Chain A
Amino acid sequence: MNTSERGMGLGLRALNRLAGSELLDRVGQRGRVERWVFQGTRRGFRAAEATSRRFSAAARLTRPVRQGHARASELFDLSLDEEQQMLREAIGAFAAEQVRPAALAADDACATPVELLAQASELGMTTLGVPEELGGVMAERSAITSVLVAEALAHGDVGIALAALAPGAVATALGLWGDALQQSTYLPAFTGESPPAAALALLEPQALFDPLKLTTRARREAGEWVLTGTKTLVPCAGRAELFVIAAAAEGLGPSLFVVESATAGVSSETEPGMGLRAAETGRLTLAGARLPASALLGEGRSEVYLECVQRARIAWCALAVGAAQAVLDYAIPYVNARVAFGEPISNRQAVAFAVADVAIELEGMRLLTYRAANRADIGASFDRESALARRLCADKGARIGSDGVQLLGGHGYVKEHPVERWYRDLRALGVMEGALLV
């Protein structure tokens, strides 16, 4: 069985599980999901064959298409709707059966297997932000749904989740802020066969990095933009065919640009980090890369850039919540089974209280993340909420990563158990900006 057949087998198993889910019938969502699945099979399981694809607008939109946004609920509510439950169940199964078993090897190899990424995109993860008219599956944009997807996937592995979701950030950026030409040029590729690897690059190699004070510059020259600077820890930097890159634009301030990787002056090198290794992080150098005027996203409006920073923060919080939940779920059976001084170590308050604290802080992280995402969905301001969610997830997430290792003691420090990986991955919170969007 060759790689693509094996990939097909794995993917079908995931789809089959989805199709067999009683939940689909119970909630009357079968039609919608089957359409979803149809898209997957139409696309097929192909390894990314394109290395320098030409993006062009086959049929040009006359105006940009946007997803609608949700109505604000009158009531406080923590229950998921039926579609969200179903999605979480499907992605949770994928994360447990496919992602977690692949995580150790992907971390070692600094790469996620392409068939796993194909399966992820098959499950619709990268097109949540694509308007329905352009081949997406979601009529309404839903940051909450994106959060649930990211959380469920990160429970499997954070690095693989980042690799799988990174192209979706570019599609979401185009869906939210792209003009008619940008959407017609780039979005069809994301819903078509073999969607491109793509990445949203904000972070720069600088201590005390502030996304509002970029050192990457975009200069105007003869009706074109010329980009110079360095971006760091960009997921899939070496494979990506398309980037959205943040640069301080002359006369505009921090702005986003759509950059094809084939553009002269764009180069990348691998840059593995402490964690997130499965996401093939790399450093991107822009040495006077010349872009057409049409590369500017959202007309360089400052609120677009701020929204991008804030949506990325929410997405990272979602990964932290998933990873922190993984720590808790792993630590509980361990401390119950591990015997010292004649009884399970969980009979001791020092151990039991550490577990309780993980659960308490994790639940807080989750609620802050959901609140920020929900505010984004109903069109309310979410600068404060996303900032507070990030603060909490950065502080408590790193603490939970550390406690996870501590609870396993020496066993936590070796690669036989996944907690050392979560320790490394959870420190990314507080460091990372951009790269993902909800």
Chain B
Amino acid sequence: MISLETPKKFRPLVSQAHQVATEVFRPISRKYDLAEHEHPKELDMLASLIDGMNAGSDMGGAGAAGVRRDRAPAGETANRNGSNLSTVLGVMELCWGDVGLLLSMPRQGLGNAAIASVANEEQLARYDGRWAAMAITEPEAGSDSAAIRTTAVLDGDEYVLNGEKIYVTAGERADLVVVWATLDRSKGRAAIKSFVVERENPGLKLERLERKLGIRASDTAAFRLEDCRVPKEDMLGSDTIDVKQGFGGAMQTFDNTRPLVAAMAVGLTRACLEETATQLERAGVVLDHGAPAHAQHAAAARLQAMQADYEAARLLTLQAAWMADNAKPNSLHASMAKAKAGRTCVEVALACVELCGSLGYSEGGLLEKWARDAKILDIFEGTQQIQLLIVARQLLGKTSADLC
């Protein structure tokens, strides 16, 4: 039976996440935007609190760890609302508070999502409670992740990793870094595997932290891997190079993490729209949903059009998460959600700054910060253009060789 409302059982979680966003994130948003690279220590206590909240609950929490796909019991066809859905709902609320701070939440990294997606049971238990960052991008390989050059060579019971990784979110602060490397560059994408590397591993050298347009509360690290030795049981997924399966294992992570990034964008979009509605109201403009767009003040009509795009992004995100909960293949819908949410949040944030004028542009408010934060959401975990490629290939029945 069709229903697109927030499920009743997740309302307490949404409300808790909203309180965290209001009481913890918002008050320190500007502080860590200005103090880039400073560790937001307020989050450590919050993370423990959230761990406590999650213990003994099946709701998966508000972070990236909740994306594991449980297989539905055989024969079960009933509708499920599980951790994928609860996680995107939580992330939306927290990012209504602050995207940079969410990305800095201990134990909620994208590496945790990768582990949750592809790790075996033994690994899951071993990495439990640890904060994992994700290292894919290299100076010469961004969207084209099949072109990565970091190598992994088996030597006895260890893999030896060599290469360079950049744009590692939470790379400085995390306990673990999930590093993508190739077992054999001549075998292409099928040879790419991910390795869980201890942050303290002497072969993993922190080169620098980036200075960025936005999400400054979140550290973005660059690493060099120099004969970095990793026990072979820290490789995620199978060690065989299956050319037919190709990227399969590694890329599977993205089906689960893209709805999360879409959810971040949705939360930020709502923050912008709410703030703008408040400012417009102070300026004497109120949106009336009963009247046609052309009978409204131009600013109200624009606000309504943006709300419509916001709703589309939000529902597409919930749809992608719901499909994951119900074990339906969702890579098409995950990319549709990410594409829509990513571009919507940038368009909306920039338009809101314009509508609010100096109030939007000045550091006296948060809109200008949100507009800077927004841009990364249309870039990381696959740019807008990569999402469109994925969607188009699926719809048109194309391979990556046909359409690139």
The residues of A with any CB-CB pair to B shorter than 8 Å are 70, 72-81, 84, 144, 208-213, 306, 309, 328, 332, 335-336, 346-347, 349, 352-353, 355-357, 359-361, 363-365, 367-368, 370-371, 374-375, 378, 380, 383-385, 387-389, 391-392, 394-395, 430, 433
Q: Which of B210-218, B274-282, B291-299 binds A?
A: B291-299
CA distance A331 to B396 in the complex (A): 10
CA distance A371 to B2 in the complex (A): 8
A433 to chain B, nearest CB (A): 8
The proximity string for B residues 375-404 relative to A, scoring 1 for CB distances below 8 Å and 0 otherwise, is 000000000010011011101111000110
CA distance A75 to B1 in the complex (A): 9
Q: Which of B3, B294, B396 contacts A208 (CB 8 A)?
A: B294
B313 at the interface (CB under 8 A from A): yes
Q: Which of A80, A375, A383 contacts B290 (CB 8 A)?
A: A383
Q: Which of A210, A352, A368, A370 contacts B308 (CB 8 A)?
A: A368
Question: Contact: B304 with A364, CB < 8 Å?
Answer: no
With A76-B81, A352-B388 known as contacts, the answer to whether A388 contacts B339 (CB < 8 A) is no
Question: Contact: B340 with A370, CB < 8 Å?
Answer: no
Mark out the residues of chain B between 311 and 355 whose CB falls within 8 Å of any chain A CB in the assembled complex.
311-313, 315-316, 318-319, 322, 333, 336, 339-340
Closest to A333 in B: B396
Q: Which of A77, A355, A368 contacts B1 (CB 8 A)?
A: A77
A314 to chain B, nearest CB (A): 13
B104 to chain A, nearest CB (A): 29
B307 at the interface (CB under 8 A from A): yes
Q: 23 A-B contacts, Cβ less than 8 Å apart?
A: A73-B1, A75-B3, A75-B79, A75-B80, A76-B7, A208-B295, A210-B295, A211-B292, A212-B291, A213-B295, A347-B398, A347-B402, A352-B398, A356-B388, A359-B336, A359-B391, A367-B312, A380-B5, A384-B289, A388-B307, A391-B293, A391-B305, A392-B308
Query: Most A CB atoms within 10 A — which of B2, B3, B4, B293?
Result: B2
Question: Contact: B392 with A395, CB < 8 Å?
Answer: no
B217 to chain A, nearest CB (A): 30
Question: Contact: A210 with B291, CB < 8 Å?
Answer: yes
B362 at the interface (CB under 8 A from A): no
B159 to chain A, nearest CB (A): 37
B244 at the interface (CB under 8 A from A): no
Contacts of B126 in A (CB 8 A): none
Question: Contact: B315 with A364, CB < 8 Å?
Answer: yes
CA distance A371 to B4 in the complex (A): 5
Contacts of B339 in A (CB 8 A): 356, 360
Contacts of B3 in A (CB 8 A): 72-73, 75-77, 374, 378
Closest to B340 in A: A360
Q: Which of B5, B312, B392 contacts A355 (CB 8 A)?
A: B392
Closest to B310 in A: A388
Question: Contact: B312 with A78, CB < 8 Å?
Answer: no
Closest to A431 in B: B292
Question: Contact: B397 with A77, CB < 8 Å?
Answer: no
Mark out the residues of chain B between 128 and 146 whose CB falls within 8 Å of any chain A CB in the assembled complex.
none
With A352-B388, A360-B336 known as contacts, the answer to whether A74 contacts B304 (CB < 8 A) is no
Contacts of A212 in B (CB 8 A): 290-291
Contacts of B385 in A (CB 8 A): 349, 353
CA distance A70 to B3 in the complex (A): 11
B373 at the interface (CB under 8 A from A): no
With A359-B391, A388-B307 known as contacts, the answer to whether A371 contacts B293 (CB < 8 A) is no
Question: Contact: B81 with A78, CB < 8 Å?
Answer: no
With A77-B2, A352-B392, A387-B304 known as contacts, the answer to whether A392 contacts B315 (CB < 8 A) is no
Q: Which of A209, A306, A356, A375 contacts B392 (CB 8 A)?
A: A356
B71 at the interface (CB under 8 A from A): no
Question: Contact: A367 with B396, CB < 8 Å?
Answer: no
Name 19 extra pairs, CB < 8 A, besides A357-B388, A387-B289.
A70-B1, A73-B2, A75-B79, A81-B1, A210-B295, A211-B292, A332-B395, A347-B402, A349-B388, A360-B339, A360-B340, A363-B319, A367-B319, A368-B315, A371-B4, A371-B311, A374-B3, A375-B5, A384-B289
